[in-house]
Amino acid sequence: MAHDEFSLIRQWTSRSDGQEGDGLTVGIGDDAAVFAPSPAMEVVACCDAMVETVHFLKETMRPSDIGYKAVISNISDVAAMGGLPRYALVSIAVSPGWSADETSEIYEGIYAACDAYGVRLIGGDTVSAPDALHLSVTVLGEVEQGRALRRSHAKPGQAVFVTGHVGSSAAGLHLLLKQKDPNSRFPAELQPLVEAHQRPAAQVTAGRLLLASRSCGALNDVSDGLASELWEIAEASGVAIAIDADQVPIRAEVSSYAAEAGKDPLDWAFYGGEDYQLVGTAEADGVAALAEQFAAAGIPFAVIGSVEASADGKPAVTCARAGRSMPLAKAGFNHFGRRE
């Protein structure tokens, strides 16, 4: 940042001025922010980075989408603990290819995501970068003492579920990469896929429902693709997970677009990532009640498999498709051809 751009930074973050109160003692503008944790709650803390050319391209994401999604990916991590997001700190490194207007739009996206989830921006850092734009977001939330939902709590006999739909973000990215313009308009039935990629939602309500149910075992968010998240649960819990491919919830629009594009929609679901849905396990005798609660809340909830004891002491994830069960490869999110 040039020294005379300090006033711009002040302008970008001025929405956070005078927001003290409701637990926030010191907001943005001092050396650090200070807040009072809610009684009987623990603090949940996570941090995710998004880097131009690695995690996003100007050709597929508008500046406001970039800010929005960087916040959402962290809120999603808090949701995956069953927590409530409260505060965000944003560190942004802006390279010469980004105008002041574009940077201002990134902040607009950051604030839009914060507003949508009741999160307050309480601090951060704005610096210059030589080449690619970098965004690193920390979100702080809270969760009832000792109740955070862990990756490691899957047990044999539990059902495996996922919220919402998976593979939509990867389908949206596929559409956007063909157009190379983040403002492209697509046919109405494809627009939701593009929105799933540019403006994903975080499953905070689902996470709170799961925590309150007391029947949730392990929980993870789908940031790197369903396969990678299932493997994380299997490894952290020391169990085997068996998935039924036919039960994986994929939007009809994703399947039909995949057919047209010559792609397998399950590849997008398993290896696409950035769906920010929740995948987890639940007690077999509690899963029907959970499904009812999700239906009442209007959140899709699908049972996609089950947890089994690890046969040889090794974690495993298998997927049954067309009558054959195969090990599910562990690959993670493939960003523009790089393995992340």
Looking only at residues 32 through 51 of this chain, which bind its own copies when binding is defined by CB under 8 A? 32-37, 42-51
Q: Residue 337: which residues within 8 A CB-CB, separation 6 or more?
A: none
87 binds its own copies (CB under 8 A): yes
Give the DSSP letter of residue 272.
Answer: T
* Residue closer to its own copies, measured from CB, 3 or 214: 3
Gap between the Cα atoms of 210 and 278, Å rounded? 10
How many amino acids of this chain bind its own copies (CB under 8 A)? 73
> In this complex, which beta carbon is closest to its own copies, that of residue 36 or of residue 322?
36
**Residue 242 in contact with its own copies, rule: CB under 8 A:** no
**214 binding its own copies? (CB under 8 A):** no
Residues 165-194 that bind its own copies (CB under 8 A): none
Instruction: Give whole-number Cα distances, 301 to 24, 90, 228, 247, in Å.
Output: 35, 32, 20, 11
Nearer to its own copies, 168 or 203 (CB): 203
Tell me how far, at minimum, the Cβ of 9 lies from its own copies, in Å.
11
**Residue 141 interacts with its own copies (CB under 8 A): yes or no:** yes
Q: How far is CA 177 from CA 153, 181, 183, 184, 335, in A?
A: 38, 8, 12, 11, 12
Q: Which of 7, 21, 22, 130 binds its own copies (CB under 8 A)?
A: 130
In the range 47-76, which residues lie near its own copies by CB under 8 A?
47-55, 76
Q: Select from 14, 104, 23, 93 the least CA-distant residue to 51.
A: 93
Determine contact, residues 234/294, Cβ cutoff 8 Å. no
Q: Are 304 and 162 in contact (CB under 8 A)?
A: yes
Q: Single out the segment in contact with its own copies by CB under 8 A; choices: 106-114, 147-155, 238-246, 318-326.
A: 147-155
**CA distances (Å), origin 5, targets 11, 24, 99, 130:** 10, 28, 11, 16
The one segment of 86-94, 108-116, 173-181, 256-264 that binds its own copies by CB under 8 A? 86-94
Q: Tell me if 205 contacts its own copies by CB under 8 A.
A: no
Nearest distance from residue 322's CB to its own copies, in Å?
27
- Decide: is 327 part of the binding site for its own copies (CB under 8 A): no
| 211 CB neighbour count, 10 Å cutoff | 20
Q: What is the 3-state secondary structure (H, E, C) of 193-215?
A: HHHHHHCCCCCHHHHHHHHHHCC
Which residues between 8 and 27 bind its own copies (CB under 8 A)?
A: 25-26
